[in-house]
Amino acid sequence: MEDLDIILAYRERQHETCFQVLYNRYAGKVYSKAVTMLHKESEAEDATQEIFTKIFLNLGKFEGESKFSTWVYSITYNLCIDKIRKGKKNRELFATELEDPPDTTAEEVPDEALMTMQLAELKYVLGQLTEGERTLLLMKYKDGVKIKAMAELLGKNESAVKMQLKRIKEKAKRIHDRQFASIS
């Protein structure tokens, strides 16, 4: 059964089964995203609860223009960003850092370079990135969000997002090579 059918049924009857199906489909994904962004399991659990309450209270506003999964993702992302911002009031989370500009002459780091890292290596690399860089990289490669959707979520244009991703990939590769290239 499609998400939209379940949503329409839930709107009509508020039936528990509809709630259960939607919750089972998305709870794991929402929690996974929250724990990646917030880093603490307890905070991610609270965030998951808030996100689902928000989703079900606002289900009437979902018009089906985008996919339900995209809508859920944007609520998850925005709520987590709000929580992070509250914790770091004075820091611009996604400021365009100029101290580490991309090497425009160099070839782009292929996606495989990141995807073939060992899990422990990837975790190390992610740990060395800033909050904004990590979020962007995971959004693209872990959550599979399209550049257009990322641009909408971040309030930037697509080319700016692509450029930022290119720079982050370069940085991630540099961190990886510095730490692990000599070992292997």
**What CA–CA distance (Å, rounded) separates 123 from 9?**
41
Q: Which stretch binds another protein (CB under 8 A): 44-52, 60-68, 89-97, 152-160?
A: 44-52
φ and ψ of 90, to 5 deg: -100, 5
Q: Which stretch binds another protein (CB under 8 A): 1-9, 23-31, 68-76, 101-109?
A: 23-31
Shortest Cβ 19–another protein spacing (Å): 8
Shortest Cβ 101–another protein spacing (Å): 25
Q: Which stretch binds another protein (CB under 8 A): 28-36, 71-79, 84-92, 154-162?
A: 28-36
Cα separation values, 67 from 1, 72, 78, 111, Å: 14, 9, 17, 26
Shortest Cβ 56–another protein spacing (Å): 6
Burial class of 123 by CB neighbour count within 10 A (0 to 12, 13 to 18, 19+)? exposed
Q: In this chain, which of 10, 26, 52, 77 binds another protein, going by CB under 8 A?
A: 52
43 binds another protein (CB under 8 A): no
121 binds another protein (CB under 8 A): yes
**DSSP string of 93-159, one letter each residue:** TT----SS---TTSPPPPHHHHHTS-HHHHHHHHHHS-HHHHHHHHHHHTS---HHHHHHHHT--HH
Of the pair 30, 153, the CB lying nearest another protein is at: 30
Interface residues toward another protein, by CB under 8 A: 19, 23, 27-29, 31-32, 35-36, 41, 45, 48-49, 52-53, 56-57, 114-119, 121-123, 138, 141-143
